[in-house]
Chain A
Amino acid sequence: MTKMAGNPGDVLPERAFKPDNVQSFLYNAVLFNAHRIHFDEPYTTEVENYPGLVVAGPLMGDWLHQCVLEWIGDEGKLTSIEYSNRKAAYIGETLWSGGKILSCDEQNRELELEVYIKNEKDEKIVPGTAVVKY
């Protein structure tokens, strides 16, 4: 239970992601998601006026999960997660997942975590919280 014996403020390891066209294609193909802002660059920039192809929101949500799951390993389980996609991210950007312990409930063997995806401007574009049981 070494990781789970953390204190509020302790941080989860950050991980860098640099989604490219291939990953974006594979992810949206797996979903069967035909939203053109993820693969049709002329449409995305000229019709929707985005600066580039948009990284799928739930893909970043998945990265929040991975941040928690890789940190807890076999020592606990993720029971709940809540997040919002506040700002778009674009193919070619480097993004980071990370988080920290917000509170420890030793009686219920539960941790509340802050999790986030941040961009190169250090903006938390996908903020959230998660609950882990151990």
Chain B
Amino acid sequence: MMGNLLTDHLLSNIGKKAPIKKELVTRRDIRKYSIATGQRQKKFLDGDEAPPMFHVSLFWDVVDMDQLSPDGVFIDRLLPEFPLKKAMAGGLKIDYYQPVYPGQWLTAARTLTDIYEKEGSKGPLIFYEITMEVENEAEEKVLTEVTTRILR
């Protein structure tokens, strides 16, 4: 049975878009990411090509320290205030269309694509989904990432 935690006001946030980010891929940043993640392929360690999840670092929010909550986390302005606060494990799906190379300018467009409620064994759960589309300068798709988070 569906609960009633999701008001029309909350649901009206579906479709909300974050400002588009545009970032330059550099060899140095690829190398740093590759070393930090323990890559073993030379093309990644030399920065000739970015490992697939490099976009996570490229588009992580860079904000002033006073915009971080006491636990050090940036409050995502794309999200409304939900009636449930405790975040549970979430999921991620990424479709890759083409590799990323140093020198490319990439854009990321994030959209809040879904909010829904389910009844869990210990009470109601809220699910929300954010879709990030990454494109190159020719407006070709590079990857699509869909993140689902669960609140209880």
Contact = CB atoms under 8 A, between A and B. Distances in A.
Interface stretch (A4-12, A58-66, A107-115): A58-66
Interface residues of B, number: 32
Contacts of A79: 95-96
B38 A61 contact: no
A70 B35 CA distance: 16
B56 to A, nearest CB: 5
A104 interface: no
Given A34-B68, A35-B73, A27 B62 contact: no
A117 B38 CA distance: 15
A79 to B, nearest CB: 6
A41 to B, nearest CB: 13
B4 interface: no
Interface in B40-90: 40-41, 51-53, 56-57, 60-62, 65, 68, 71-74, 89-90
Contacts of A78: 52, 96
A1 interface: no
A69 B52 CA distance: 9
Interface string A71-115: 000000111111111110000000000000000000000000000
For the complex of A and B, 7 pairs with smallest distance between CB atoms: A34-B72, A84-B91, A26-B36, A82-B93, A27-B36, A36-B72, A31-B60
